[in-house]
């Protein structure tokens, strides 16, 4: 077992889960703050040079674990490790945010899909992308294709 502590919290416009855009073509353009706790501010040195960051956070208001279920984008069940469901064995969220600026221990960011008050466990620089031509997106691409045919 491993014990994790928040290094900061998200300030976002979303106060309820139903407000967060979900499913195929959902756009995550929400802007807000990632507020790092004062004792970890030194860890932000030079973070402002990166255009994008990974944020690892906790689904602190998710209930229980569901190993296979139907996501909002499909009517067929898929394993939790093949989806972004909050009902995971470890309730970890991962979001790529666009960094708009830094004001001391506050990062202004776009692309948030977390609820206001969400605990943040880690931030990492986004260094490189997988080229689109190499990506396969499994059941999600199939569900999108069925939807556009329907």
Query: Using CB under 8 A as the criterion, which residues of the chain lie in contact with its own copies when the complex forms?
Result: 1-5, 7, 36, 40, 42-54, 56, 58, 60, 67-68, 77-84, 88-92, 94, 96, 119, 121-132, 134-142
58 vs 54, 90, 91, 100, 112, CA distance in Å? 13, 9, 6, 22, 14
Question: Going by C-beta distance under 8 Å and a sequence separation of 6 or more, which residues neighbour residue 149?
Answer: none
Q: 3-class DSSP state for residue 92?
A: strand
Is the CB of residue 10 less than 8 Å from the CB of residue 117? yes
Q: How far is the CB of 92 from its own copies (least distance, A)?
A: 5
Q: How far is the CB of 72 from its own copies (least distance, A)?
A: 14
Q: Which is nearer to its own copies, 46 or 75 (CB)?
A: 46
For residue 121, what are its two tokens?
């466990």
Strand pairing partners for 54?
A: 96, 124
Q: Which is nearer to its own copies, 77 or 106 (CB)?
A: 77
Q: How far is the CB of 91 from its own copies (least distance, A)?
A: 8
Q: Which is nearer to its own copies, 16 or 130 (CB)?
A: 130
Q: How far is the CB of 117 from its own copies (least distance, A)?
A: 14
Q: Can you tell me the distance from the alpha carbon of 29 to that of 89, in angstroms, rounded to the nearest whole number?
A: 28
Q: Can you tell me the distance from the alpha carbon of 24 to that of 11, in angstroms, rounded to the nearest whole number?
A: 25
Q: Which is nearer to its own copies, 43 or 117 (CB)?
A: 43
Q: Which is nearer to its own copies, 132 or 149 (CB)?
A: 132
Q: How far is the CB of 101 from its own copies (least distance, A)?
A: 13
């Amino acid at each position: 077992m491993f014990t994790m502590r928040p290094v900061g919290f998200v300030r976002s416009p979303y106060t309820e889960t139903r407000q967060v855009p979900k499913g195929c073509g959902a756009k995550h353009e929400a802007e807000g703050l990632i507020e790092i706790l004062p004792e970890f501010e030194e860890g932000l040195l030079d973070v402002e040079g990166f255009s994008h960051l990974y944020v690892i956070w906790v689904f602190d208001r998710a209930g229980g674990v569901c190993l296979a279920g139907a996501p909002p984008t499909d009517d067929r069940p898929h394993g939790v490790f093949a989806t972004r469901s909050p009902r995971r064995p470890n309730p970890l969220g991962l979001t790529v945010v666009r960094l708009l600026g830094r004001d001391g221990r506050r990062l202004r960011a776009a692309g948030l899909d977390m609820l206001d008050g969400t605990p943040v466990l880690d931030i990492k620089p986004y260094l490189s992308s997988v080229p689109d031509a190499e990506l396969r997106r499994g059941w999600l691409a199939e569900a999108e294709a069925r939807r556009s045919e329907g």
